[in-house]
Amino acid sequence: MTLPSDRSPTTESIHPGTFQQFDGSPVPAADLVFTQDSSGHYLSFYWNEADRYGLKSDDLVGQFAEADFNPVAAAPYLEQIQQVLSDLIPLQFEFAFQAANQHFVFELTVSPILMPHGAATSVLVMGRFLYTAPQKPTSDSAADSKQMHLSLHGDYPETGSASHRYQKRLTELVWKIRRTLDLKTIWQQTVDGLGEAFGVSRCLIFPYIPNQDEVLPVAEYRKPELPPLLNRSLSIVQEAYLNQALTTLKPIACSTAKMQGGEMQNGEQPASVMTIATCYQDQPNGLIILYQTDRSRVWSNIELDLLQEIADQVGTGIAHASLFAESQNLASELQRVNDSLMKKHQELEDARQQAEAASRLKSEFLANTSHELRTPLNGVIGFLKLIMDGMADDPAEQSQFLQEAHRSAIHLLEVINDILDIAKIEAGKMQLDLNPVPLEDLLNDVLRKTRPQAQQKGLSFEIRTPETRDEVVLLGNYQRLLQVMLNLVSNALKFTHEGGITISAEVLAQKATGNEEKRPGLVKISVADTGIGVSLEKQDKLFQSFSQVDGSRTRQYGGTGLGLAISQKLVEAMGGEVNFYSMGEGLGSTVTFTVPLFQDPLMVTAPLPDAADLLL
């Protein structure tokens, strides 16, 4: 049997010379060639002996039963034509034609002429002359006509009925395989199509890679009463019939064959097994195994030929689908690599922009810092120059000049310290020793250093401490905690013109880590003011190094813009975190930071009469 190819012969290809089979290989010249429609009428006609018997091709076109050259038994012949047009599968058989009072027996090959939409309404018939026989008296009996046909073509009933039993389903299977490039679909359609067409108990398909010792099924067809076998592998080394099928690429039938371990499953023992390898370009790429468990089975030559054809088609489909899958995987990998490169490129572009932004911020910072350095330095030099030039009228004025010079020098030292601190932090050189720090000592020190500024501006200054029966002890670095507090309070005083400043401390029952050890809780310290506040869209710049929220405010209020950035880094180094809150411009602001507790203090449930609240 030859399955339909993608290219089918047309009427224009009919020529009495050399013809080609459907696989493209040449065959000897045909003695008889004609095309017919579904009712048997000739569309074209050629016979190399036509002139000898007085036949003209043009006279035969459009005729059939009444023609001078027609089949001996018209009804069976038309049945074969209808079957070819229905199944789209070529048929090969012997048939007798009558002409000039003789019967001419030909070996015919009847093929469908496929139209672009995939259907067929006409056939191409090619015949090879076998022998002649004298014509018997004409009879109107249908039985006599059929008997005459059978006497001239004894193998027709067997061949036609057996092939027709499988061809339609197997043709559908081939077309399904050709229409998909999905391996899983091909595997499942193959076992389902073969299992149903041949009526076997079970059909399995196994992918195969050269030099593979074991195969595992990937798709299965089975009768409902049988258990699944998709999890059972087969050893090519132990099962000789598998190796034979892979070597010969031919169907291998066995009367007894067992799965690895002696039985298929639950005692199931196949009565017969048929194995065939699928291949592409003579290289095996899979195994198909059909099991008959309910009876012993002898496979006919027609069944074996059909099975061989299907296996070849499946092998080609598997090869094409595998190549397609590999190309898809390659395309996916290329896309992944491309996406990765694009991501890396974007990361590099972001890093470049961040570096440019940092460079720009540092330039702006240096411009602002130069002003912050020159202003106190000019104050020191100016007041000292006045004293050296004898411009002081009396000792009191000279003392005042010295105090102003000292104040400017202290301010200059603070600016230089900020610059040095941020440089250490940026370089990762900031190392802190953490020790017990009494909260009361820290707050008193802050109060002593900042109260004069609050009093000078007429601002209220309130400190609220947690109510405990023992002192609250923090785990941190005293000097750095004091630096953070002074930074936050100084900012609050700088940007607050009326109202006041409130410092509050709160014990949080939250586990924390300090000196790589677990601590009993945290202390949350808040510095709240009623000052100018910060707009919501600018708050993200507060903790950026070398960044200031508003350059105009920097010129108005002074400062390097490093205070919050340094404070955040110092607090994080001590195991805490800093947060900033402001509802917007003119609505004040609150800065909070946390520090781990050194020990858990004893809290009180009611206010103590001597609570250490200071209201200035």
Mean pLDDT (whole number) for 482-486 = 89
> Is the domain of 511 the same as that of 572?
yes
What is residue 294's predicted lDDT score, i.e. its pLDDT? 82
CA distance 325 to 319: 10
Looking at the structure, tell me whether residues 242 and 288 fall in a common domain: yes
| 28 domain-assigned | yes
Domain edge (last residue) among 313, 328, 343: 328
Q: Is residue 346 part of a domain?
A: no
- What would the mean pLDDT of 599-614 be, rounded to a whole number? 62
Q: Are residues 142 and 190 in the same domain?
A: no
Dist CA 99 CA 30 (whole Å): 18
Cα dist. 515→354, 420, 474, 477, 562 in Å?
Answer: 33, 25, 12, 11, 26
DSSP reduced 3-state for 1 = coil
Of the given ranges (99-103, 141-145, 375-379, 499-503), which has the lowest mean pLDDT? 141-145
At which residue do the structure tokens 């923090």 appear? 474
- Which residues make beta-bridge pairs with 122? 37
Lowest mean pLDDT across 116-130, 439-453, 530-544: 530-544
Which two tokens mark 528? Answer: 């709240």
Q: What is the pLDDT of residue 341?
A: 92
Asked which of 278, 295, 328 is the last residue of a domain, the reply is 328
Same domain, 202 and 114: no
Q: Please give the structure tokens belonging to residue 531.
A: 């000052």
Q: What is the pLDDT of residue 141?
A: 38
The predicted model scores a pTM of 0.40
Distance CA 372, CA 366 (A): 10
Distance between the two ends of the chain, CA-based, in angstroms?
109
Q: Are residues 184 and 313 in the same domain?
A: yes
Q: Which of 63-72, 150-159, 170-179 has the highest mean pLDDT?
A: 63-72
The 8-class DSSP code of residue 66 comes to T
Judge if 124 and 187 occupy the same domain: no
Let me know if residue 516 belongs to a domain.
yes
Whose tokens are 């050194």? That residue is 598
pLDDT at 610 over 70: no
Alpha carbon separation from 614 to 27, 203, 329 (Å, rounded): 115, 92, 73
**DSSP assignment of 33-54, as one string?**
EEEEETT--EEEEEETTTGGGT
φ and ψ at residue 25, rounded to 5 degrees: -80, 145
Lowest-confidence pick of 124-128, 278-282, 550-554: 550-554
- Fill in the amino acid letter for 289: I
Q: Residue 61 has what pLDDT? A: 92
pLDDT per residue as tens digits for the range 4-52: 333 333 333 333 433 343 344 444 468 999 999 999 999 999 999 999 9
Predicted confidence at residue 283, as pLDDT, reads 92
Domain check: are 133 and 276 in the same one? no
- Do residues 565 and 543 make contact, with C-beta atoms less than 8 angstroms apart? yes
**282: region left, alpha or beta (phi > 0 left; psi from -120 to 50 alpha):** left
Q: For the beta carbon of residue 127, count every other beta carbon within 10 angstroms.
A: 21
Predicted confidence at residue 216, as pLDDT, reads 93
Q: For CA atoms 322, 325, 331, 333, give the dihedral sign.
A: negative
pLDDT value for 355: 86
Same domain, 138 and 184: no
Burial class (CB in 10 A: 0-12, 13-18, 19+), 440: middle
The DSSP result for 171-195, as a single string, is HHHHHHHHT---HHHHHHHHHHHHH
Q: Which of 328, 359, 384 is the last residue of a domain?
A: 328
Residue 468 pLDDT more than 60?
A: yes
Quote the CA–CA distance of 5 and 7 in Å, as a whole number: 5
- Asked whether residue 584 is assigned to any structural domain, the reply reads yes
pLDDT of residue 441: 92
Does residue 593 sit in the same domain as residue 465?
yes
- pLDDT number for residue 147: 38
pLDDT for the residue 151: 35
Residue 374 lies in a domain: no
List all residues 6 or more positions away from 466 whose beta carbon is below 8 Å from its beta carbon.
472, 505, 506, 507, 523, 601, 603
Cβ atoms of 509 and 602 within 8 Å: the answer is no
Q: Following DSSP, what letter does each residue of 375-421 receive, concatenated?
A: HHHHHHHHHHHHHHTT--SSHHHHHHHHHHHHHHHHHHHHHHHHHHH
* Whether 114 contacts 11, CB under 8 Å: no
Res 461: pLDDT: 92
| CATH number of 317's domain | 3.30.450.40
pLDDT at 70: 92
Q: Give me the number of domains the chain comprises.
A: 3
Q: What is the pLDDT of residue 364?
A: 67
116: domain CATH number is: 3.30.450.20
Of residues 153 and 429, more confidently modeled: 429
Looking at the fold, whether 193 and 140 belong to one and the same domain comes out as no
Do 580 and 495 meet the contact criterion of CB atoms below 8 Å apart?
A: no
325 residue type, one letter: A
Domain that holds residue 464: 431-615
56-60, 66-70, 81-85, 535-539: segment of lowest average pLDDT: 535-539
Please report, for the domain that includes residue 510, its CATH number. Answer: 3.30.565.10
Q: Are residues 322 and 251 in the same domain?
A: yes
Question: Is 425 a domain residue?
Answer: no
Q: For residue 546, is it within any domain?
A: yes
> Is 349 domain-assigned?
no
Mean pLDDT across 509-521: 75
* 176 pLDDT higher than 60: yes
Contacts of 76 (CB under 8 A, 6+ apart): 146, 149, 156
- Same domain flag for 183 and 253: yes
Contact in structure between 306 and 1 (CB atoms under 8 Å): yes
| Contact in structure between 289 and 221 (CB atoms under 8 Å) | no
